[in-house]
Amino acid sequence: MPSMNEFGNNLYSGKTSFPFVGKRRLWFIIAIILVVGSALVPLIRPIQFSIEFTGGSQFTVQAPDSRDQDTASEAVRSVVPGAATKVVIVSDKDVRVQTDQMSAAETQQVADALAKAYDVEPDAVTSSFIGPAWGENVTRQSLWGLAIFLALTFLILAIYFRTWKMSAAAIIGLLDVLVITVGVYALAGFEISPAAVIGFLTILAYSLYDTTVVFDKIRENTSEDGEKSARLFGESVNLAVNQTLIRSINTSVVAALPVGAVLFIGAFWLGAESLTDISLSIFVGILVATYSTLFVAAPLYSLFRENEPQLKERDARIREARSKATVEA
């Protein structure tokens, strides 16, 4: 069995090659299934938005003896019957209660009811209020941030690579990452909070970095080929992806390990819930970004370029030369 170093050398020389471009139809079908499946997740399990987006009231009961969640729900409904509540345990010691928007009087009554229900002092219950206008502003600014990021990405890549087709392939890859990550987020039942949005933008930046490195190698290979190359355009693209494969895997592993440690040890084991939102989005996004660059963005760019008249004519000459060589042999 070849060592990792030998395997990497074989990939770089082309002795060993994985068919990223050759079997792109299969990869595209898988990508479509993943994207459609992720888009359908909210229909089965609606996406939960944090109070920063929806607005409402939030109460925190500090270190009660009992952390029974039903106790909190019953205390809230004793003041505001029918109120929607969400109760979570924070840091394995505090009880956090989120409710619909309430008036100042109702907020005070609910705080008193929670203190009584959990048998704590009134000052052990803190309350905060987020209005709907603030939540709408956060949502609007988040969407604007995403739109500006994608627009600037398209423009900068088009200038850097001198072709809009690389930009288009990269943007489609970014959207693939975003949709799948949000779908996994919804499936896991986690709230989308401002921290999660930061995580989404972070993994889009990571995906862009990975895609740019791979595309730079593709540009190098296809530019060096010229008219005398014995490789088809798709083969040159596939070689470039294989040449950067080990780098992509190593970068992803190195990036995912510390984030995974934060997620599974800090958030799940130690109960540091404030770390969960951002660490989950980044952890899933890193893995999806690597997959998307290799199996979606790069093969898609090859598909965009192969039908250009000049490349189509050159590929036809290469195929004809190969056929003649086979007959003569």
Nearest Cα neighbor of 129 from 57, 39, 30 is 57
What's the Cα-to-Cα distance from 285 to each of 20, 98, 203, rounded to whole Å?
Answer: 20, 28, 5
Render pLDDT for 216-247 as a digit per residue (tens, 0 to 9): 999 888 876 555 667 888 888 999 999 999 88
The sign of the CA dihedral 175, 177, 183, 186 is negative
Q: What CATH class has 4-47+134-328?
A: mainly alpha
Measure the CA dihedral 299/304/310/315, to 10°.
30
- In the predicted model, what is the mean pLDDT of residues 248-267? 81
Report the SS3 class of residue 95: strand
* Burial category of 39 from C-beta neighbours within 10 Å (exposed 0-12, middle 13-18, buried 19 and up): middle
pLDDT score at 102 = 81
d(CA 310, CA 225) in angstroms, rounded, equals: 13
pLDDT score at 269 = 64
Render pLDDT for 64-95 as a digit per residue (tens, 0 to 9): 888 888 888 888 988 888 787 888 777 678 88
- The upper half-sphere exposure of residue 213, i.e. CA atoms within 13 Å in the direction of its Cβ, equals 18
Residue with tokens 């995912």: 256
Render pLDDT for 121-132 as a digit per residue (tens, 0 to 9): 888 888 888 776
pLDDT score at 2 = 59
pLDDT score at 266 = 63
Q: What is the mean pLDDT of the chain?
A: 83
- In the predicted model, what is the mean pLDDT of residues 141-163? 83
Report whether pLDDT(273) > 70: no
pLDDT score at 139 = 74
pLDDT score at 274 = 59
- Where in the chain is CATH 3.30.70.260? 56-130
- Where in the chain is CATH 1.20.1640.10? 4-47+134-328
Q: Which CATH architecture has domain 56-130?
A: 2-Layer Sandwich (3.30)
Render pLDDT for 183-207 as a digit per residue (tens, 0 to 9): 888 888 777 877 788 888 888 888 8
pLDDT score at 24 = 94
0.85 exceeded by the pTM?
no
Q: What share of the chain has pLDDT > 90, as a percent?
A: 16
Report the SS3 class of residue 279: helix
